[in-house]
Structure 1
Amino acid sequence: MEWTVVLLLLPLLGPPCRAQVAPPTVSISLDEEPEERWKPLLKVFDVAYLNKAAAAIIDSTVPKWVHHLIVPIVNSLEKYIPPPYAGEIRGLASHFGGNLTDIVILNFAYEVSAFCTSIITQDKSGNIYHGRNLDYPHPVLRNMTLNVIFMKNGKMAYQGTTFAGYVGLWTGQSPKKITISGDQRGTEHWWNWWKNVASALLVHASPVSWLVRETLEEAEDFQDAVIRLSKTPLITGVYYIVGGVRPGEGVIITRDRKGPVDIWPLDPMYDGWFRVETNFDHWLPPPPSDHRRQVANDALKSIGQKRINSYSLYQVLTLSPVCNRGTIYSTVMSAKSAEKYMTVVWPKGCRYTNNTDSLLTVQGAQTFH
């Protein structure tokens, strides 16, 4: 109810913004065989549309030579792709009536160009709040975004936000345990990235989004999650942003393929009550044209630790250029209060007209807490 009120009042609080919408929610049973798990998508999405959208994403993202490279992987799927993902990908191809090669390619295509902003914060009472914007160069993904609740033994095991046809997660939480988001590290050219993916599959390195999902499902607590996300070999560099349920349980992990480059935890005792990560190493300046980090930092300082909460954090995520024309969705979550997990989709992206007015909106948002 509180979030409904906030969303209704947002147009009155600040400069004009394209309307936000809630994505559909689908329950996936982990007790089902992997090939059958994603069948509930058929009740929510039009199959013909999804196939058309997937083809557009593949054509605009994946070089033609990759199609030939993927063929041996598809022919021996279980050899290259671990369970349960091989079975889930086979099931998606069956449910959508599509080509198995295309579904495999689509899942790796989503690993490219995930330009994002993630923020982890702690209030004065020690509560951890985690927000993220996910930006992609594929506007069609706005119509493919969904919340997924992964069920096990009749109970929620974990949940997240993803895209139809994609078995990985860039955003998610395990109730009463952890929240995780992933941001692409740097701006590697796609042709180099695909070469790295091809070679990494041969040594069974994990796609970054699969590791998020595995950690949400298997990690016992915050510390366990940080270890898993730090040490597991990956196909490419990434930033993992992790939140827990206890004071101080917040960290940004800067990864290369082999392991951690840097671990940047919350440090509330010395005014480090928030951390902001975009797509560049936090100890280096971002490109002159990218102001997301500075705007988010300034807004959080303006709010202050006493007034940070889920709603004010959401307002920071809506600021330009933190939220921009490429933003697909925004999520705010807190593992301690898992019922408040919220994602909104931006059908046309974010288009604010005045940053100063937006900052004033953030400062005034506390009245709705």
Structure 2
Amino acid sequence: MAAARRPAGPLLLWAEVRPFPRGRVEGGCQASGRAGEEGGARHIPALPSGSPCPVQGCSRAGAMGRAAARWPRQWGLLVLLCGAVAAAPAPRAVAPLLCNVSLDSPAEERWLPVLRRFDPAFLRAAVARIIDESVPKWVHEVIRPIAAELEIFMPQPFAGEILGLCKALGISLGDGVLLNFAYESTAFCTSIVAQDDKGNIYHGRNLDYNFVDILSKITIDVQFIKSGQIAYQGTTFLGYVGLWTGQSPHKFTISGDEREDGRWWENAIAAFLNRNYPVSWLVRDTLSRAEDFQSAVLRLAGIPIIAEVYYIVGGVSPKEGMVITRNRRGPADLWPLDPLGGAWFRVETNYDHWTTPPPSDDRRTAAIKALNATGQQNINFDTLFKVLSVKPVLNNNTVYTTLMSAALPDKYQTWIRTVK
């Protein structure tokens, strides 16, 4: 459904305030941002007329109205000031479902509480469509016959998690692996890491992908729980065990943007069978293992991966911001923040920063203009959201926007975006 065009002026969007859970938290999904709180408005975005909601037990009608009625307890008002965003057709934004995945559970069982919140038939249909329309047929022929042996090539916990998801959904292991490859192959994005005039680091990203109609319904924020505490968190699509977006609280943040080399599938499959990491698995592995910004950069820059990529990393101290341009075997370029030299932000889309993006996809220039207009003294979560809402940075393929700052982990926030 097309969003109605609104006159220029303040644009008001409801966005749920999700306090960071303190103390022990358990597995499963929650309807609100506060651990253990009943009710709440945490939900998937407005769906097209007639579309079934894939969340089990959900009544789609009136969800936003009921949420707004609980304003004193659960909702904050995000005000986007006049300007390019307000003058454009108003984008819709709403927080995704927040889920907990217990790292203390066996890998095959970790995602089961999350899966129970969704309609299995909808998920199976979504998997079939994504695989059929995005994975080349020859890849099916390579992967499916050797599916039973794929665990040889997949490190834990990813192999066990994919196997558990496949069993629960009633799909083949081959299809589960193909689905995860499909999500690896075409993640077009815009990532920004910026430092304000007080030395605070902010990190924002838009993730653009085909199948927005499906992915907007299965985007989830995940808190990975170990010994009752949040070890790390991220945003993903249900069924995808990797992370393109994530945060290790009080340590660092990461986002990944695809780097196209023209022979993605051929090279990726060969590298995978050589036991290289998928790019999103390295993000999650780094969130789990790295102790600080520097160690995260070293891991993301040096570990062999199946495809070229841009890793954008933010830390907790001044100057801790980096764009890592990756080849499969190592770094092609390291591009740090240089606030003393005037480079208080870095913008990465899907093109090497030392080249000029094509006119048909120049999100970079729009983002840079918006950041310069904002100014270092004014950059914060709200203004960074505005930058990521300027077209074409925000576009018809934008599935979600995430804002994060490792020094302020309770501010991690994702919005599912719909632009028509």
Is the partner of 1:103 in helix, strand or coil?
helix
Alignment of 1:181 onto 2:260: no
Q: Output one character per residue of 1:213-259: Cα deviation in whole Å (capped at 9) or x when no partner.
A: 00000001000000000000011110000000011100000001111
Partner of 1:234: 305
Q: CA 1:148–1:306 in 2, change beyond 3 Å: closer, same or farther?
A: same
**Is the CA contact 2:144–2:175 (under 8 Å) kept in the aligned structure 1?**
no
**Matching residue's letter, 1:337:** L
Partner of 1:150: 224
**Displacement of 1:78:** 2.0
- How is 1:225-304 mapped onto 2 (pairs within 5 angstroms)? 225-304=296-375
Is the partner of 1:223 in helix, strand or coil?
helix
**Displacement of 1:5:** 3.5
**Bigger Cα displacement from structure 2, 290-299 vs 242-251:** 290-299
**Displacement of 1:10:** 4.0
Of 274, 278, 282, the match for 1:211: 282
Alignment of 1:197 onto 2:271: no
- Partner Cα distance (1:230, 1:72) in 2: 33
Name the TM-score, length of structure 2 as normaliser.
0.80
**Matching residue's letter, 1:293:** R
Is the partner of 1:160 in helix, strand or coil?
strand
- Partner Cα distance (2:173, 2:305) in 1: 24
- Structure whose residues are more often helix by fraction: 1
- How is 1:1-369 mapped onto 2 (pairs within 5 angstroms)? 4-7=75-78, 9-10=79-80, 14-15=86-87, 16-139=89-212, 140-186=214-260, 188-189=261-262, 192-346=263-417, 348=418, 350=419
**Matching residue's letter, 1:173:** Q
- Partner Cα distance (1:329, 1:89) in 2: 23
**Matching residue's letter, 1:24:** L
**Matching residue's letter, 2:128:** A
- Partner Cα distance (1:85, 1:115) in 2: 23
- Partner Cα distance (1:164, 1:125) in 2: 37
- Partner Cα distance (2:369, 2:82) in 1: 23
**Is the CA contact 2:148–2:173 (under 8 Å) kept in the aligned structure 1?**
no
Name the TM-score, length of structure 1 as normaliser.
0.90
How many residue pairs match? The answer is: 345
- Partner Cα distance (1:135, 1:86) in 2: 26
**Displacement of 1:12:** 8.0
* Structure 2 unpaired stretches of 5+: 1-15, 19-74
Q: Output one character per residue of 1:267-317: Cα deviation in whole Å (capped at 9) or x when no partner.
A: 010111000000000011000222210111011111111111111001100
Is the partner of 2:93 in helix, strand or coil?
coil
**Is the CA contact 1:24–1:44 (under 8 Å) kept in the aligned structure 2?**
no
- Partner Cα distance (1:273, 1:244) in 2: 14
**Is the CA contact 1:157–1:217 (under 8 Å) kept in the aligned structure 2?**
yes
Is the partner of 2:284 in helix, strand or coil?
helix
* Structure 1 unpaired stretches of 5+: 352-369
- Partner Cα distance (1:249, 1:326) in 2: 30
Give the ranges of 4+ consecutive aligned residues of structure 1 lying more than 6 Å apart after TM superposition: none
Partner of 2:67: none
- Partner Cα distance (1:252, 1:319) in 2: 22
Q: Output one character per residue of 1:67-122: Cα deviation in whole Å (capped at 9) or x when no partner.
A: 12013541112211111111001100111122221111101110011100000000
Higher relative contact order structure (alpha carbons within 8 Å, sequence separation ≥ 6): 1
Is the partner of 1:111 in helix, strand or coil?
helix
**Is the CA contact 1:174–1:335 (under 8 Å) kept in the aligned structure 2?**
yes
**Is the CA contact 1:6–1:311 (under 8 Å) kept in the aligned structure 2?**
no
- Partner Cα distance (2:320, 2:224) in 1: 24
**Is the CA contact 1:183–1:239 (under 8 Å) kept in the aligned structure 2?**
yes
- Partner Cα distance (1:253, 1:261) in 2: 8
- Partner Cα distance (1:295, 1:247) in 2: 25
